[in-house]
Amino acid sequence: MPKKVLVVDDSPTVRQQVSLALKQAGFEVVEATDGADGVSKVGSDPSIGMVILDVNMPRMNGLEMLETIKAGGQNAGLPVIMLTSEGQQSLIDRAKKAGAKGWIVKPFKAELLVAAVKKLLAA
């Protein structure tokens, strides 16, 4: 099971909280501050096995990053969970269509987030 998870969020507190929860569950974590940074990290680190992605971010939002990495290339199969305060069905449908594997509404429950990551990585 891949153990490295990329957490992309412009909020440092959210990045820290997600990272700590995942690290306590035994995962290795790398962080990115927005979509553009996330695309760069995914492209340069082949050991990343999963992405947790915020939606509302400066420069490149989460849906744009999702669509970018799913558009092709070696990372198209990377499982992605969207982690956002957004709950609109149209956005969820867009993410699902783009290839996201999950959608978690903030504020998240850390144990449910960890459980979702484990489930998707085991699949």
Binding characters for another protein, 8-47, by CB under 8 A (x = yes): ---xxxx-xx--xx-xxx----------------------
Which of 5, 6, 61, 70: binder of another protein (CB under 8 A)?
A: 61
Spatial separation of the C-alpha atoms in residues 91 and 20, rounded to whole Å: 27
**Half-sphere exposure of residue 86, counting CA atoms within 13 Å on the CB side?**
20
DSSP labels, 33-56: SSHHHHHHHHHH-TTEEEEEE-SS
Which of 28, 102, 118, 121: binder of another protein (CB under 8 A)?
A: 102
Question: Interface with another protein includes 118 (CB under 8 A)?
Answer: no
Question: Interface with another protein includes 59 (CB under 8 A)?
Answer: no
